[in-house]
Amino acid sequence: MKDRYGLIFLVVLALTGIGAPLLNQAVPEGSALYLSPYAMTLIGKYMCYAMLALAVDLVWGFCGILSLGHAAFFALGGYAMGMYLMRQIGGRGVYGNALLPDFMVFLNWEQLPWFWYGFNRFWFAAAMVVVVPALLAAVFGWLAFRSRVTGVYLSIITQALSYALMLAFFRNDMGFGGNNGFTDFKDLLGFDLQATRTRAVLLALTALALALSYIACRALVASRAGRVVRAIRDGESRTRFLGYRVETYKLWLFIISSVIAGIAGSLYVPQVGIINPSEFAPINSIEVVIWVAVGGRGTLYGAAAGAILVNYAKTILTGALPEVWLYALGALFVLVTLFLPTGVIGLLPDRSEAS
Amino acid sequence: MSPSFLNWAGAARTWPSGGLARVGAWLSATLCVVLVGATPAIAQTPDDTFLATVGELREASFSDKEAIATRIAASGHTSAAAVLTAMLEDRLYFRDSDQHVFIITSADADPFALVEPVSLADAGTAAQDGLTKIGTNNRLRRVVRTTVARFTLASPDPAVRLKAVQEMMRSLDEQTLDLVRERAAIETDAAVKNEIVLGLAMAALTSGDQPAKLAAIERLSTQVTSDVRNRLATFLEQNPDGSFVEPDAAVRSAARSAVSDIDRIRAIYSGVETLFFGLSLGSVLVLIAIGLAITFGVMGVINMAHGELMMLGAYTVYVVQLLMPNAIGLSVIVAIPLAFIVAGLAGVLLERTVIRFLYGRPLETLLATYGVSLVLQQTVRSIFSANNRAVETPAWLSGTWQVNQAFAITNNRLYIVLFTMMVFVALQAVLKRTRLGLDIRAVAQNRSMASAMGIRTEWVDAMTFGLGSGIAGMAGVALSQLTNVGPNLGQSYIIDSFMVVVFGGVGNLWGTLIGGMSMGVVNKLLEPYAGAVLAKIAVLVALILFIQRKPRGLFPQGGRSAEGH
Amino acid sequence: MSVAPDLTTGKVLYLEHITLSFDGFKALNDLTLYVDPGELRCIIGANGAGKTTMMDVITGKTRPDSGTAWFGRTINLLRLSEPEIAQAGIGRKFQKPTVFEQLTVVENLELSLGGKKTFWHSFMATLSVAERARIDEVLVITGLTTQRRLRAGGLSHGQKQWLEIGMLLMQNPKLLLVDEPVAGMTPQETERTAELLLSLAGEHSVVVVEHDMEFVRSIAKVVTVLHEGHVLAEGTMDQVQNDQRVKEVYLGAS
């Protein structure tokens, strides 16, 4: 089982996860090697996106399930973490209400909605980061795969699902802060989120989470289950005749993928400091797909690399030439699908992940 | 400034807007023609006499003013109605410096805009404090109102008479009742007569004896207005001590059954209204989806840029209106074929440059066309700015068709239903009755066979895609009248369009029609209970569940061959 | 899955009075067919005679309107899903070679192994010594030993067909359904396929649907002729060819 590029990916990841926080914490601020908190946030963000890309690649690249709703799992994980962070604010909000977050006070709510109970405890929020996306994926996937909704139909209804969630979260009555979402977080497990030290640790943790996700996905696709999954991608009914319950395979894969996306979202929120319903927007999900396509679908490190590459380009372009970014992204969609079906990873020599 | 505007500008506040111009124009004419003949000849010119009579109002007591007003009305002067109406509405003033009487156009403006009371010509402006109002009291106003009403009730235009009766019914007194009764005897128009009968019945509710009340209630039980219903409901009210306001049990029970009759009729109309709202929303859904039903349903192409093709259509309207700013009414009509051409050409270009390389790879097509949609969005942002553009609504598209007091249809909703039907019928005609349609269906059913029979399949692909895209452009024209025209217009409709096509059954235009309409109706049925956003979410979730039960939609294409991917 | 066909009554497959229509067209019309254990049965018939539809019914892809289908004495095929039928011991080879092109030959065979097939079981699964031996054995039977590490997409047409038969053998099915195995094969490949199928009969019951009469003659002991969804004749190749009704409807004027 050779995975040379995967190994390179993990080494680079380890270096970043350890190196970036060190360059921020241990190097004095004036030095050429000093890494600014802004750059750290960017790197952390990219790594969260890379996890999301892994999640999408797992279902799309390996099983042919083109989900246009993965941003929803990411956002749900983010909201679960956001709810914890909101409750940590406690009496330090603008209205000084120890129990209710500011937006609820603003809406004249008298008491905490039932689904906010428990989110004052980290372990509970952390559990919800996993459970909520997994539950949604399980229910949706069970219904969809059981009735053999495949191909573009599945893509369209995943998109509709994400869209419906976005509309729902935009509503103030839902109790998730309406279109403002959550922001102005103070601290996480007692650590000040504004402190660079906290941010450095968060970055290292994100790198760790990305590495673990990669290893888990890699273990999965290299197992016999992974081969079954690829068999489903290439010949669903044939796989069924071999005695595999295709629905269960897809369902598990979808759930695992949604959990990775949810965890990525939960790491994203404390680093960028905000979560709002626009995270559910269909374009977000589709953008993830293009990261994967650019990197190379069906190769895990390719998906992660694609996410980082495209987002780096986005940061540069939206900073320098904001007009050009959508043209560039649009062109990327067209050109990659037309001319680079294996992504940039396809340009590398001697790949052997497939076996 | 036209005299008719002058006379009735004030009246517009209390009267519904329609028919006003006619009332005024007609009044001037009638007073001149009808009443002049009845007036004895006078040595002075009629204008002098009239002005002198009006001038008397300045210092007369209220009781004298009554007499003067009657004389003004009897004068038969063309401006009599204008002066009396102005007086009624406290818009009759005289200038302190020369005691000249003027009508002012609005009591809110400062300085006042003056109007000469005899010629009704514009007489410039004057500061408020240089003018004194010719005061009225309630009694005087009642007399004047009756006088004015008598003029209007004699109008040859039934619409004017109807408005007059409706107006008078709001404040019935013995005098107006007599007027109305007189009119009832000679009225020929059914609608006006009906209105009079109703008014009299309403009056009888208050003043009549028991048989008259019962007869009135009986007559009113077929009405739909909330006024009548609420008036009847007062018979059922109880005093604080538990006794009924209406002592007569027979009247109470008649009123009770009449109220329930009215409630039932109103419920039916409100159901019809909801249904119509639903059909009109459904028409929008069908319109945005029908182009997609061609490109997705017939060709199997997932075109995520479909919404942006609609956006191009909407911007076409905007550009057309820029080019012909003086013919807004026509602009929308002109834009329909233009939008078809613009979006159709964009579609053909898209098919030739991108999509044709991706046939048979639907997921890749989805991604590539999504990229195209981003480019199109950014293009209109670069050309027209990121802000929404103001597209004007022609007069013929606004306005309301008041079917009855409980049911009104706005014109734009009505036109969107008609437009959708026209597009649908035209599309069916193209597919069923033209050579292109035959080719399209042939290629859709069996590409290689069609090719073998000499059909240029590539050309047909481009034309089919152009057709679907062109229809998207026409849908964009409709959307420009319903929503903001901006770079995000397409994105907000794309999911709906796909849901309609998938729900109706891919490859089935009738399915799209029925699917879209039923989605619209269900949405509108839910809205009163859930609110607009929640209703939309509910419909989306229901569709997601539906597709999972029937992945091939309401009307799947039958047979074994449809199994394939 | 602990179901195994009970063959004590002597037949491996009972299809009785099966009728199935698509949009009014009767694809199967009161079809009745029995298959013995270890038998090699050939099914012939014109296009639309119902051969493929019959296989669809046996494997659970399509449900008939009426009739019964039993696998052995105890397994009601009409009650089982496709994977359950596969696990009960019915293997199917499609008309077009459908191997997993992105997987290697060995991986294709590995996926066809019997045993537990749940997600988490597959996730933990490793090849046992016996399983490795079985894969090697099948590679030898199908003549694909030297191609074992190749992606299946890179195999020739004939090799793909054999790989697919090999995949069926991995499942060790009681009943093998083989749809047009020699279509598009070279004469050498056809000959090799005939040998392969003959060697499989005895241990497995094999049902072959084929158009190539030469090929059918070379392997068949019993031939069943389908016509318009119904069994027209059954017997040896010679008997069938001399059957008057068969001559009329299937062999035409000849």
| Partner residue opposite A337 with nearest CB, options B368, B533, B565 | B368
Confidence at A45, pLDDT banded by 50, 70, 90: very high
Residues in chain A with CB shorter than 8 Å from the CB of C116 are: none
Residues B151-199 have pLDDT tens digits of 777 777 777 777 777 777 766 667 677 777 777 777 777 777 777 777 7
Which pLDDT does position A350 carry in this prediction?
A: 58
Instruction: Determine the Cα–Cα distance for residues A268 and A81; give it in Å rounded to an integer.
Output: 9
Residues C184-215 have pLDDT tens digits of 788 888 888 888 888 888 888 889 988 778 88
Q: Could you please report the per-residue DSSP string of A3-70?
A: -HHHHHHHHHHHHHHHHHHHHHHTS-TTSTTPPPHHHHHHHHHHHHHHHHHHHHHHHHHHH----S-H
Whether the predicted pLDDT of B17 surpasses 60: no
| pLDDT > 90: percent of chain C | 0
Confidence at C1, pLDDT banded by 50, 70, 90: very low
A148 close contact with C: CB closer than 8 A? no
Residues in CB range of B280: below 8 A, 6 or more apart: B413, B414, B416, B417, B520
Mean pLDDT for A81-92 is: 88
Instruction: Determine the Cα–Cα distance for residues A66 and B16; give it in Å rounded to an integer.
Output: 57
Which pLDDT does position B176 carry in this prediction?
A: 72
Residues in chain A with CB shorter than 8 Å from the CB of C179 are: none
Task: Tell me the H-state helices in C50-186.
Answer: 51-58, 82-88, 105-111, 119-124, 129-142, 157-171
Instruction: Determine the Cα–Cα distance for residues A209 and A191; give it in Å rounded to an integer.
Output: 19
Pairing state between β C230-235 and B92-95:
unpaired
Task: Tell me the H-state helices in B77-137.
Answer: 80-88
Residues in chain C with CB shorter than 8 Å from the CB of A227 are: 103, 107, 110-111
**What is the ipTM score, two decimals?**
0.84
B484: tokens are: 């903001």
Residues in chain A with CB shorter than 8 Å from the CB of C112 are: 242
Which pLDDT does position B7 carry in this prediction?
A: 38
Residues C66-109 have pLDDT tens digits of 888 888 888 888 888 888 888 888 888 877 777 888 888 988 88
A243 close contact with C: CB closer than 8 A? yes
Helix axes B249-292, B509-530, angle to 10 degrees: 140
* Most B CBs within 10 Å, among A57, A156, A166, to test the B interface: A156
Residues B327-357 have pLDDT tens digits of 888 888 899 999 999 999 999 999 999 988 8
Residues B245-257 have pLDDT tens digits of 777 777 788 888 8
The total number of residues shown for chain A amounts to 355
Edge-to-edge order in the sheet of strand C13-22:
C25-35, C13-22, C66-71, C75-76
Q: Could you please report the per-residue DSSP string of B417-430?
A: HHHHHHHHHHHHHH
Q: What does the DSSP 8-state code read for residue B298? A: I
Residue pointed to by tokens 């989470």 = A209
Instruction: Determine the Cα–Cα distance for residues B548 and A191; give it in Å rounded to an integer.
Output: 46
**Nearest one of B466, B468, B472 to B348, comparing CA atoms:** B466
Confidence at B373, pLDDT banded by 50, 70, 90: very high
Mean pLDDT: which of B71-80, B294-303, B523-532, C100-109 is highest? C100-109
Three-state DSSP at C69 gives strand
Which pLDDT does position B161 carry in this prediction?
A: 77
Phi, psi of C25 (to 5 degrees): -90, 125
> CB neighbours (10 Å) of residue A86?
28
Mean pLDDT for C124-131 is: 84
Residue pointed to by tokens 């514009």 = B122
Say what the pTM is: 0.76
Angle at C223 between CA C220 and CA C225, to 5 degrees: 145
Confidence at A136, pLDDT banded by 50, 70, 90: very high
* Helical (H) or strand (E) element with A182: strand A182-183
Interchain contact, A152 vs B302, CB within 8 Å: yes
| Partner residue opposite A243 with nearest CB, options C107, C117, C124 | C117
Residues in CB range of B411: below 8 A, 6 or more apart: B396, B397, B398, B399, B400, B401
Helix axes A37-63, A196-222, angle to 10 degrees: 20
Looking at the complex, report in whole angstroms how far the Cα of residue B477 sits from the nearest Cα belonging to chain A.
25
Residue pointed to by tokens 């054995």 = C137
> CB neighbours (10 Å) of residue C137?
13
Residues in chain B with CB shorter than 8 Å from the CB of A171 are: 533-534
Residues B292-309 have pLDDT tens digits of 888 887 777 888 899 999
Residue pointed to by tokens 């040859």 = B156
Instruction: Determine the Cα–Cα distance for residues B293 and B296; give it in Å rounded to an integer.
Output: 5
Whether the predicted pLDDT of B78 surpasses 80: no
Instruction: Determine the Cα–Cα distance for residues C48 and B241; give it in Å rounded to an integer.
Output: 88
C236 close contact with A: CB closer than 8 A? no
| Cis amide bond preceding B325, omega within 30 | no
> CB neighbours (10 Å) of residue B240?
5
Residue pointed to by tokens 């103030």 = A172
Which pLDDT does position B342 carry in this prediction?
A: 95
Contact between A53 and A45 under an 8 Å Cβ cutoff? The reply is: no
Residues B107-148 have pLDDT tens digits of 777 788 888 888 888 888 888 888 888 888 888 887 787 777
Residues in chain C with CB shorter than 8 Å from the CB of B558 are: 23
* Helical (H) or strand (E) element with C223: strand C222-227
Q: What does the DSSP 8-state code read for residue B40? A: P
> CB neighbours (10 Å) of residue B182?
12
Mean pLDDT: which of A95-104, A273-282, B1-10 is highest? A273-282
Instruction: Determine the Cα–Cα distance for residues A4 and A10; give it in Å rounded to an integer.
Output: 10
> CB neighbours (10 Å) of residue A117?
11
Interchain contact, A160 vs B548, CB within 8 Å: no
Instruction: Determine the Cα–Cα distance for residues C232 and B94; give it in Å rounded to an integer.
Output: 113
For chain C, list the contacting chains (3+ Cβ pairs, <8 Å). Answer: A, B
* Helical (H) or strand (E) element with C234: strand C230-235
B498: tokens are: 């796909």
> CB neighbours (10 Å) of residue B15?
16
Q: Which of A70-74, A157-161, B10-14 has the lowest mean pLDDT?
A: B10-14
For chain B, list the contacting chains (3+ Cβ pairs, <8 Å). Answer: A, C
Instruction: Determine the Cα–Cα distance for residues C63 and C20; give it in Å rounded to an integer.
Output: 8
Whether the predicted pLDDT of B9 surpasses 70: no
Mean pLDDT: which of A207-216, B290-299, B355-364, C128-137 is highest? A207-216
Instruction: Determine the Cα–Cα distance for residues C22 and C27; give it in Å rounded to an integer.
Output: 7
Contact between C78 and C62 under an 8 Å Cβ cutoff? The reply is: no
**Distance of alpha carbon A175 from its chain centroid, rounded?**
23
Three-state DSSP at C28 gives strand
> CB neighbours (10 Å) of residue B395?
10
Instruction: Determine the Cα–Cα distance for residues C231 and C251; give it in Å rounded to an integer.
Output: 15
Which residues are bridge partners to C227 per DSSP?
C230
Confidence at B202, pLDDT banded by 50, 70, 90: confident
Tell me how far CA of residue B200 lies from CA of B246, B254, C251, in angstroms. Answer: 19, 18, 94
List of E strands, C11-135: 13-22, 25-35, 40-45, 66-71, 75-76, 90-93
| Partner residue opposite C125 with nearest CB, options A224, A237, A242 | A224
Residue pointed to by tokens 């002109």 = B334
Q: Could you please report the per-residue DSSP string of B364-433?
A: HHHHHHHHHHHHHHHHHHHHH-SSPB--PPPGGGSSEEEEETTEEEEHHHHHHHHHHHHHHHHHHHHHHH
Task: Tell me the H-state helices in A171-299.
Answer: 196-222, 224-234, 236-241, 246-272, 282-295
SS3 labels along B220-256:
HCCCCCHHHHHHHHHHHCECCCCCECCCCHHHHHHHH
Looking at the complex, report in whole angstroms how far the Cα of residue B397 sits from the nearest Cα belonging to chain C.
47
Residues in CB range of B387: below 8 A, 6 or more apart: B486
